[in-house]
Structure 1
Amino acid sequence: MSRPTAADPVDHLRLLLDRVGADWEEGTRPGETVVTLPGEHKLRTVVSLLVGERAMELRAFVIRNPDENHEEFYRHLLRRALRLPGLGYAVDAVGDVYVTGRTPLAGIDEAAVDELLGAVLAACDDPFDDLLRLGFWTSIRREWAWRRSRGESTANLAAFRAELEALEDESEEPPAPGAGGRTPQ
């Protein structure tokens, strides 16, 4: 594989992104390129690649600050972080979760860009449904009930359909004899 001839590191990165078939656009900051990766669990993952003098930094939004179950939510992320190649999870001032990383410009070639984008997508997309269950289950259940009560589409909750329907079935079962209410005398 021959090395691209682009002298400017940003142009070099963009040439490599074109070669791996990544959908990108120019960012708002000098040296920034924004890549959009399609997902299976998350609709898409948006990655900011910021080229500096010696290194490229990346940041991708994973999920907003959880509503509940914070300890298990963050424990889940920390366990996954053990398997991230050169990446890590971070939270911002409001608790939203990101994947971050930094790689030397000298190490950026087509294979490295492809591997890096694959790792970012796996870190953001693969755990998404589990993170929703851990951090937003109460909201998911409320939205399901609201949509069902109004005959609205539940397509956006398809990943949780079996669990939510099972909860509905449990709540529709008649109480066992002697459970709740008055007992016969």
Structure 2
Amino acid sequence: MTEREGGTAKAEGRLTEYLRSADLEWELGGRDGEYVVTLPGEKKLRTVVSLLVRPRTTSVSAFVIRNPDENHEQFYRTLLRKNLRLTGVAYAIDTDGDVYVRGEIPTDALDAEHLDQFFGVVLAASDEAFNELLALGFLGSMKKEWAWRISRGESTKNLEPFRHLLEGDAGQSS
């Protein structure tokens, strides 16, 4: 084993130790050195994070929200403004327009303190912005869903945070 491989193995050991001690749900990913971690959220029920441990840097990628249906300019402006307040990560989009939080940290920095801070930043970027991004990019779809549920007497529980935006168009409440 080379010194570089040994450093990666040590970092992976520290990572798995942290994941176990933090009682986070995780599994090995499909690539060598990949760990897939599920972070519990409040607005977004969970954020799935991929960490790819490499000799020098560990990349982090977490899906936030799919490509918006509407208000693209305002949606992406909001993300760019939010990027100014993020530390160590940034919002990015893939070729389909889906939004991710992306970042890299030195593999040598994979210790409990840094991991706790880093996962906190990733979760905050995904979870805290989620409802705002939903309202910006999917309000039309949510209005249709609200009206459909109201008309059939279905539960509107998961749409409750948006009631103030949706109720007027439906003309009813649940």
Q: Same fold (TM over 0.5)?
A: yes
Higher relative contact order (CA 8 A, sep 6+): 2
CA displacement, residues 60-86 of structure 1 (integer Å, 9 cap, x when unaligned): 000000000001001111111111111
Q: 1:109 aligns to what?
A: 111
Structure 2 length normalisation: TM-score? Answer: 0.89
CA displacement, residues 97-153 of structure 1 (integer Å, 9 cap, x when unaligned): 000010001122111000000000000000100001100000000000011111111
Query: How far apart, CA to CA, are the structure 1 residues paired with 2:22 and 2:114?
Result: 10
Query: How far apart, CA to CA, are the structure 1 residues paired with 2:134 and 2:11?
Result: 37
Output aligned runs, 1:129-148, within 5 Å.
Answer: 129-148=131-150
What is the root-mean-square deviation of aligned Cα atoms in Å?
A: 1.6
Query: How far apart, CA to CA, are the structure 1 residues paired with 2:164 and 2:154?
Result: 17
SS of equivalent residue, structure 2 residue 63: strand
**Structure 1 runs, 4 residues or longer, greater than 4 Å off:** none
Q: 2:51 aligns to what?
A: 49
Number of equivalenced pairs: 165
Query: How far apart, CA to CA, are the structure 2 residues paired with 1:7 and 1:64?
Result: 34
Q: How far has the Cα of 1:10 moved from its partner? A: 1.7
Structure 1 length normalisation: TM-score? Answer: 0.84
Q: What percent of counterpart residues are identical?
A: 55
Contact 2:101–2:125, Cα closer than 8 Å, also in 1: yes
Structure with larger Rg? 1
Q: How far has the Cα of 1:25 moved from its partner? A: 1.3
Output aligned runs, 1:1-185, within 5 Å.
Answer: 7-169=9-171
Contact 1:45–1:124, Cα closer than 8 Å, also in 2: yes
Query: How far apart, CA to CA, are the structure 2 residues paired with 1:87 and 1:50?
Result: 15
Query: How far apart, CA to CA, are the structure 2 residues paired with 1:97 and 1:144?
Result: 24
CA displacement, residues 164-185 of structure 1 (integer Å, 9 cap, x when unaligned): 224445x9xxxxxxxxxxxxxx
Q: How far has the Cα of 1:162 moved from its partner? A: 2.9
